[in-house]
Amino acid sequence: MTKYCLLLLGITGVAFAQDTPAFEEVDANSDGQISQEEAAAVEGLDFAARDADQDGSLSREEYEAETE
Ligand SMILES: [Ca+2]
Ligand SMILES: [Ca+2]
């Protein structure tokens, strides 16, 4: 039963994360900003649309914000 619940939680987690990997994963150099190069590793990420203040990098807020 416990195993089954963990499996369900795992599936849910994957479903939520399918579009965007965790900020920490994308921020390869851990400077708290996602550069264009780091963003390029994320498939389908629209950098320009996410960069709300257009400073050329994505803060956690920008990265995690819904764009749709
Ligand atoms: Ca970075
Ligand atoms: Ca920005």
Closest-approaching ligand to the CA atom of 55: 2
**So what CATH class is 21-68?**
mainly alpha
**Cα 42 to ligand 2 centroid, rounded to whole Å:** 16
SS3 assignment, position 60 = helix
8-46 pLDDT, tens digit each: 656 555 444 456 799 999 999 999 999 999 999 999 999
**Cα 34 to ligand 2 centroid, rounded to whole Å:** 9
**Cα 63 to ligand 1 centroid, rounded to whole Å:** 12
31 with 37: CB under 8 angstroms? no
Q: Model-level pTM greater than 0.75?
A: no
Domain positions in the chain: 21-68
- In this predicted structure, what is the pLDDT of residue 66? 76
